[in-house]
Amino acid sequence: MHVKKGDTVKVISGKDKGKIGEIIKILGAKQQVIVKDINVKKKHVKPKKEGEVGRISQFEAPIHSSNVMLYSLEKKVLFGVKVRILKKTS
């Protein structure tokens, strides 16, 4: 996969196109990633016990890794060390 956990990425397609976030989890078998505050879904949860109140929980749903690209704001130049950077900013 072209991105890793902890990378800053930009969404290039879908409803969150143009948003920037950090990868918090990789789902390698499905080639999907979970990005912080991107593709947020709501789930209505029924009460389990008597007297408990139902609620609406929010969570980040996975998106395919082909819909994100590595993103960096600064230019990184280190001699003798491999550094992953965005090609457009170098």
Q: What is the DSSP letter of 80?
A: T
For residue 35 the two structure tokens come to 């990005």
Residues 7-63: tens digit of each pLDDT: 999 999 999 999 999 999 999 899 999 999 999 999 999 999 999 999 999 999 999
Kindly list the structural domains of the chain, giving each domain's residue range(s) and its CATH number in brackets, ordered by start. Answer: 8-89 (2.30.30.30)
Residue count (the chain): 90
Q: Could you tell me which of 77, 72, 53 has the C-alpha nearest to residue 8?
A: 72
Predicted TM-score of the model (pTM): 0.77
Query: Two tokens at 62?
Result: 């996975």
